[in-house]
Amino acid sequence: MGQSQQTQSQEDELELNSIQDLYRTFIIECPSGSLYQHEFKRMFGVPGGTPEAEYMDSIFRAFDMNNDNKMDFLEYVAAINLVLRGRLEDKLRWSFKVFDSDDNGQLDKGELRKIVKIIYKIKKGSVSSDTGVNLTAEEVCQRIFQEVDVNSDGHISLDEFINGAKKSEWVQDFLRLDVNPTGWIRRYLCDRKLMSGSTS
């Protein structure tokens, strides 16, 4: 019991240290206390004019919780925490928000098609069916609708999206990693830790 409490205490301390490191980095990168879209992409080394940059625009919008076109430190920490530690359902809710560009709580085929095409480019077209046949971006879009649009009304609600994705390993595979910037964030945090370690 004592050892478990000690482990929990060490984890809490690591959490606190991580947040302090993040805050120091955030203030150095964003002395105004706000992170703007172009800074967000620059921080993660995502060059303009790429599929990743298009996707980062949608990611930024999803993490900008109060829609003021900037991220404050709390939004920034919430974003990193969700991407690195969030439960599947939380990540699916977040993915839905990334897809739902008009923020009306429904995905239509146009919204889904736009993001699927970007993800398809990021994955360099290597998206296959269960039998290993390569799919086009349009086929990916159709398959997602088939798997999650339960009432076949041409729109996907948040509940349909979450429940459908939970039941479909294929949909989860399509959304995994490339749909959230886990790799970019881990690389970014690792680079910052190395830089701060080298200067101390």
Tell me what pLDDT residue 160 has: 95
CA angle 158/164/170 to nearest 5° reads: 130
Q: Where are the domains of the chain?
A: 2-199
Q: Which CATH number fits domain 2-199: 3.30.750.24, 3.90.220.20, 1.10.3720.10, 1.10.238.10?
A: 1.10.238.10
- Mean pLDDT in runs of 10 for the chain (200 residues)? 45 57 79 86 75 79 85 82 76 85 90 84 71 82 91 94 92 66 57 52
Tell me what pLDDT residue 195 has: 52
